[in-house]
A and B are shown apart, each in its own frame.
Chain A
Amino acid sequence: MATDFWASSHNKRWIVDRATLKQARSEDLQYVESAEHIDFLNIYFANLIAMLGKRLPLRQRVIATATVFFRRFYVKNLYCETDPFMVIAACCYVAAKAEESPVHIKNVVSESRQMFSQEGYGIKNFPSDNSKLAEMEFYLVSDLECDLVVFHPYRTLLTLCGREAAHAVVSEAGEVGVGIDNGPRYWGTGEGRLELGEGPLQTAWHVVIPYSNLTERCAFELFHRFIINDTYRSELCLLYPPHMIAIAAIYLTLVLNDKTRDAIQAQSAAPAPPPRRSSRTNTGSAHRKPAPVPQQDFVGFMAGLRVSLPTVAMIAQEILSLYTLWERYSDTAPESGLGASAASGVSAGDDVVTPAFLTQLLLRMREARLADLAHPASGQPMATNKRLGRTQAVG
């Protein structure tokens, strides 16, 4: 059912475990010096999707959907065997349609070409032919198994923040008709896994941030939204249901907000990314007991959620380590620094990682992969390899 997460394709087919993710990247890992590089690629590609999305322009939810499509595609495929830039463009194109706000294919092609050819990204050969993107769309939709409805933590945020009107659940009519389930319950108690009443939640929320203080409330929501946006730089959207990510983001917001509220309020006029540096100092607090929150009611609020708090803490922990990693990634850093060290085969270490470096990394991975396909270590040519060979012979 399209509004019940528990019955959705998202929940049934696209929440994967860590072993699956590890398996998905295992072959890519053979072509990088450090496993961290793969994490940087994850950040890089998500940034590209967000930036391409802004140029098209796509709404935030469409960008999020495109990112989830991208992550799902690479559960099944290898970075070193595909063209992530083409996949990014196709993800944006399909996501726009799936979210009912389509953009014309030629806009996607021209914006992609322009953006990817910029210095720093260095992809000069993005095809100008619409049919190339349309062909990729075909393969992408096929690899996504046609599951195009995606759930996002934003929805939970709106519910929790009381922005969304309370759902009119007509409970007594549940018996009507055969096999009818009540639709509008996003927080469906259907499977008894999650029981959240909106009333108590909102109350708790108001205690944490009084209604009267609207500026603060907005700043709070903004901060929370930023954290959610940031989670798409990682693979969290494949590992956890969106409401768990939303709750982890609420938790982090409450933890971090104490020290950063002033800063956010100053920024709320012109929204800017949250000051991430503060996250480091708070890393220690991200464990089971949400102690450092000034408002005592928050503890009750979290406990009342009846979700696995260790899982929430784990997600929060992962978001924090994402920030730590992200601090070393720079979209703006000059090309020279790491590009040079990468060329000489030196590991990135603690230096700043740039898009240019990551593009080069990807191209080298691709070349090495190709060489391996031509001369497999086993001496037994792989199926793909055989076919390529045959084509070569024919052509």
Chain B
Amino acid sequence: MVDDWSQALQHDVMRVYRAKRDEAHRHVSHKYTILGFISSGTYGRVYKAQSKDEDGKLHAIKKFKPDKDGDIATYTGISQSAIREIALNREICHENIVALKEVILEDKSIYMVFEYAEHDFLQVIHHYSQTLRSHIPHDLLKSLIFQLLNGLLYLHDSHILHRDLKPANILITSTGIVKIGDLGLARLTYQPLQPLFAGDKVVVTIWYRSPELLMGSKHYHKAVDCWAVGCVMAELASLRPIFKGEEAKLDSKKNVPFQKDQLLKVIEVLGKPDEREWPGMKHTPEYHNVKRLEDSPSRLDSWCKQRSLPPVAINFLSKLFIYDPDKRMNAREALLHSWFQEDPQPTYNVFKHQLNTPSQLPPQRRITLDEAPSMMPAQPTHAQHLPAQFTQPQHLQGQTHGSVTSFASLSVSHGGHTRKKTRLG
């Protein structure tokens, strides 16, 4: 018998280790009840889940797409963005950042379990533009921006650039606390071994991308997030994106093109950047392209007045929209701005003044049944194509029961006993 084992061990030294680990593993499906599907993106899918602990807390579980080799999920290495998001989330802790509860690695997929947030900025914007058809009250807008900046200051003080701030990524709990989410593009900038542009050619969703990025700057800093905060604030005030340009796509050689349309949209409101105000502009790769664009005076003032922002808020916004990234207002200066000292002062529960009129509150997050077969690992039908040691009758059993969501059934089918056998096969 020992001979058999040592033979097996020569082929697979880590058998004993894996058996131990798999036995100690606590499955996602044992710890959480999946309530439904929230949203999906290139990274994978997000589910609403409830802890099976006594507290029964709500969570958002982000499941990263497993890599595929044909139809069969295989291990191909954890993506850089998953490593980032996991590594950064494990280090940070702040009231205005979505907290990571745990990470479960299971069935070749990564599950990140976050605290649940009922709303997000985009949903608030939709609620006011579609349902209420009115401006977002000034007190609410101010509290949202204050807490957003409060979280951003923490990130920046920790030398983390978010690099993807936009309304959909900024969440709000049912108790009215703003939570910055999605650190998938975030990066630690403390003593980097590689320059920022080496890893990611394109950062920040186009509408929220700062002029220095649009002009091809390779060395950028925290100011890119502050510009995005300006865009988010303007969007809250006007209920539509302020600079809604068309993104020019990467060409076949993956060269980053000149984002002319987006820059034109910015110039339409803010006027053409002035070299005297932004001396560094001369050194950006797209300088010659920008020089050719037509000039127009800044009309930010009238833009804001149309949206009934008071003068002090206009001053605040204009400082976030300073072209020169070195002169742009940073998160700390923004929090100290007189806009936040004036009444109405920002509140701990951003909805404080809306609580008396429940119709003003945005609705609960919609969840649906998961209709994503792409996220399922090996389907029962696939089992036939698998090598003999991977086929298990128990697998089919679990699958046929079905359950509320396909996500849940998938976890059940791989639960416990059968999975370990697969590994040991």
Do A and B interact with each other, yes or no? yes
Interface contact B190-A173, CB-CB below 8 Å: no
B side interface size, CB within 8 A: 63
Interface contact B92-A2, CB-CB below 8 Å: yes
Most buried by B among A59, A176, A179, A370: A176
Contact of B194 among A4, A100, A105, A170 (CB under 8 A): A100
Interface contact B16-A384, CB-CB below 8 Å: yes
Interface contact A100-B9, CB-CB below 8 Å: no
Interface contact B4-A146, CB-CB below 8 Å: no
Q: Provide the residues of chain B in CB contact with A193, threshold 8 Å.
A: none
Among A137-145, A274-282, A330-338, the stretch that binds chain B is: A137-145
Majority secondary structure of chain B interface residues (helix, strand, loop or mixed): helix
Query: Which residues 1-24 in B have Cβ within 8 Å of A in the complex?
Result: 1-2, 4-6, 9-11, 13-21, 23
Q: Provide the residues of chain B in CB contact with A137, threshold 8 Å.
A: 75, 77-78
The complex places the Cα of A1 from the Cα of B86 at a distance, in Å, of 14
Q: List 6 A-B contacts (CB under 8 A).
A: A1-B154, A82-B13, A131-B74, A142-B21, A177-B154, A183-B159
Interface contact B91-A141, CB-CB below 8 Å: no
Interface contact B187-A100, CB-CB below 8 Å: yes
Interface contact A178-B150, CB-CB below 8 Å: yes
Q: Provide the residues of chain B in CB contact with A8, threshold 8 Å.
A: 91
Distance in angstroms from B18 CB to nearest chain A CB is 7
The complex places the Cα of A101 from the Cα of B192 at a distance, in Å, of 9
Contact of A82 among B17, B92, B103, B190 (CB under 8 A): B17
Please report A residues at the B interface, Cβ cutoff 8 Å. 1-4, 7-9, 59, 61-62, 77, 81-83, 86, 93-94, 97-102, 105, 125, 130-139, 141-143, 145-149, 155, 170, 173, 176-184, 366-367, 370-371, 373-375, 383-384, 387-388, 391-392, 394-395
Query: Which residues 179-209 in B have Cβ within 8 Å of A in the complex?
Result: 187-188, 190-194, 199
Q: Provide the residues of chain B in CB contact with A9, threshold 8 Å.
A: 90-91
Q: Provide the residues of chain B in CB contact with A177, threshold 8 Å.
A: 149-150, 153-154, 335
The complex places the Cα of A138 from the Cα of B13 at a distance, in Å, of 16
Interface contact B193-A370, CB-CB below 8 Å: no
The complex places the Cα of A105 from the Cα of B21 at a distance, in Å, of 23
Q: Provide the residues of chain B in CB contact with A97, threshold 8 Å.
A: 78, 80, 83
- Given A138-B78, A184-B157, 14 further pairs, Cβ under 8 A: A8-B91, A81-B17, A86-B13, A94-B83, A100-B194, A101-B194, A137-B75, A137-B77, A141-B78, A142-B21, A149-B188, A176-B332, A177-B153, A370-B9
Query: Smallest CB-CB separation from A99: which chain B residue?
Result: B193
CB of B421 within 8 Å of the partner chain: yes
Instruction: Write the B87-115 contact mask toward A (1 if CB under 8 angstroms, else 0).
Output: 11011111100000001010010000000
The complex places the Cα of A155 from the Cα of B157 at a distance, in Å, of 18
The complex places the Cα of A3 from the Cα of B48 at a distance, in Å, of 32
Please report B residues at the A interface, Cβ cutoff 8 Å. 1-2, 4-6, 9-11, 13-21, 23, 74-78, 80, 83-84, 86-88, 90-95, 103, 105, 108, 149-150, 153-154, 156-160, 187-188, 190-194, 199, 332, 335-336, 389, 420-421, 424-425
Contact of B335 among A86, A176, A183, A371 (CB under 8 A): A176
Distance in angstroms from B12 CB to nearest chain A CB is 9
Contact of B19 among A3, A131, A132, A384 (CB under 8 A): A384
Contact of A134 among B2, B4, B76 (CB under 8 A): B76
Interface contact B90-A147, CB-CB below 8 Å: yes
Contact of B191 among A155, A370, A373 (CB under 8 A): A155
Distance in angstroms from B252 CB to nearest chain A CB is 22
Query: Smallest CB-CB separation from A154: which chain B residue?
Result: B191
Interface contact B425-A366, CB-CB below 8 Å: no
Majority secondary structure of chain A interface residues (helix, strand, loop or mixed): helix
The complex places the Cα of A185 from the Cα of B194 at a distance, in Å, of 23
Distance in angstroms from B347 CB to nearest chain A CB is 12
Contact of A130 among B77, B150, B158, B194 (CB under 8 A): B77
Q: Provide the residues of chain A in CB contact with B2, threshold 8 Å.
A: 370-371, 374-375
Interface contact A81-B1, CB-CB below 8 Å: no
Contact of B6 among A367, A388, A394 (CB under 8 A): A367
Interface contact B92-A135, CB-CB below 8 Å: no
The complex places the Cα of A198 from the Cα of B87 at a distance, in Å, of 29
The complex places the Cα of A138 from the Cα of B88 at a distance, in Å, of 18
The complex places the Cα of A182 from the Cα of B154 at a distance, in Å, of 8
Q: Provide the residues of chain A in CB contact with B194, threshold 8 Å.
A: 100-101
Q: Provide the residues of chain B in CB contact with A4, threshold 8 Å.
A: 158
The complex places the Cα of A183 from the Cα of B92 at a distance, in Å, of 11
Interface contact A384-B83, CB-CB below 8 Å: no
Query: Smallest CB-CB separation from B4: which chain A residue?
Result: A392
What are the 8 tightest A-B residue pairs by CB atom distance, in nearest-first order?
A183-B157, A134-B75, A83-B13, A148-B87, A177-B150, A391-B424, A135-B75, A2-B158
Interface contact A61-B193, CB-CB below 8 Å: yes
Interface contact A138-B105, CB-CB below 8 Å: yes
Answer whether A2 and B188 are a contact pair too, CB < 8 Å, given A100-B199, A184-B159.
yes
Q: Provide the residues of chain A in CB contact with B95, threshold 8 Å.
A: 178-179
Most buried by B among A97, A181, A184: A97
